Every structure is written in C-alpha cells, then in structure tokens.
A and B are shown apart, each in its own frame.
Chain A
Amino acid sequence: EAAVTQSPRSKVAVTGGKVTLSCHQTNNHDYMYWYRQDTGHGLRLIHYSYVADSTEKGDIPDGYKASRPSQENFSLILELASLSQTAVYFCASTAGTGTTEVFFGKGTRLTVV
C-alpha cells in the first residue's frame, strides 16, 4: 500500500511566524503535490513537483513556498503565516507513468492565531 506521511498532524502558529509542513512518501513516486482544504470546500492546489530540486506553482501559490530536497520529501513553507492560511493541508503523490492513482496523506490541520 502506497504511503504518504505528513508531519505534524496538527499545529498552532502565530501570525507572522514561519511554518514548515513536511511530507514524506515511500512510494518511489516522482510527482508530489500540496493542497489546502478550507472548511466546507474542496481541495485547491498550492504547489507541486515532478523532480527533486524543482517545484511548480499551482492554482493558489501566493504566500507559500515549496521545497523538494529529495524524491521522498516535499515541504510547504509559510514564511509569514497569516490568519487566512488557517486550513487543512494535504500532501499527495503519484507515479510519473503507469498507474495514475493519487495517494493522499492524512492532512495537517494548521491554525494561525
């Protein structure tokens, strides 16, 4: 079973502080993604990556940076956290070829106060 692990699972951050959300996958997948989910809404794509040391902007990248130091790890960075970034964040991965199923982590609940 493919595995995507997110840490932390929950975090409270102070407005203006720096936040780093981590994602680790053991699927040997090339593609990784960061989504955010707001209460009562679907997921929206923030950043994604298809190879180590390279990231791409998704649909809502403003206020976020991403880092892909290795194939297995993909981080989402909030340099200056704001109240509007309170949400649940999901990491996902998928293979570059073959199976197209997307595997999601269990999410990180971020509360900015």
Chain B
Amino acid sequence: AQSVTQPDARVTVSEGASLQLRCKYSYFGTPYLFWYVQYPRQGLQLLLKYYPGDPVVQGVNGFEAEFSKSNSSFHLRKASVHWSDWAVYFCAVSMDTGGLSGKLTFGEGTQVTVIS
C-alpha cells in the first residue's frame, strides 16, 4: 500500500531564511505527488504537483519541490520565508491523474512556525 512520511512534525524558521520540508513516499508504480498548505481553520490549498517529467516543479508563492525516484522523496523548498508562510504543510500521493486524483494518501503534516 502506498504511504507518505513527513519526518519533521515541526519546523521553526526565521523570516527571510530558506525552508526545506522533507517528504518520503512509498509507492509501487508511477506516483503523482502533491504539496498542500493548510492555514489556520482553513481547508487545504494546492501548492504544487508533480507528474512524471521534469523532477523540479514550481508552485505558488515561490515554492518549488524536487522529485527523486532513487530516494523516494519529494522535498519542498522556499528560498526566503515570509511570515505568511506560517501554516501546516502536507505531502500527498495519488495513483491517478483523472477523477480519482482526489484519492490521496497524506503524510502527517509539518507545522511551520516563522519567527522574526
């Protein structure tokens, strides 16, 4: 069965510093990978998605992620964090790109705290 692991439950970063959030997946076949962000008391919003192709994908608000098949990883990065990036970030995997793309397996999430 597919699974997603986010090894860091909490990350604290200074405003303006760089950020990397780790994601490891376990999946037999071709994975479709996603990063979602959840702001307080809000639903999830898509940051970026990976479909087989270029391993580095660009997302919204300056986020990017890099897929590594050899490491089974899909790490998220941002060069310079803003206080508005304070949120919970979820990595997720799907086995479908069509209608069943909503059948997602999520990691546990990483709480990002931004300090000045």
Contact = CB atoms under 8 A, between A and B. Distances in A.
B43 A90 contact: yes
A31 B44 contact: no
Nearest to A6: B43
Contacts of A33: 102-103
Interface residues of A, number: 29
B57 to A, nearest CB: 14
Interface centre among A42, A43, A44 (most CB of B within 10 A): A42
B106 A42 contact: yes
A60 B43 CA distance: 20
Contacts of A94: 99, 101-102
Contact of A31 (B90, B92, B99, B108): B99
Contacts of B32: 100
A96 interface: yes
Interface of A: 4, 30-33, 40-45, 48, 50, 58-59, 90, 92-97, 100-102, 104-107
14 contacts: A33-B102, A40-B9, A41-B108, A42-B92, A42-B106, A44-B106, A93-B102, A95-B99, A101-B49, A102-B102, A105-B43, A106-B41, A106-B42, A107-B42
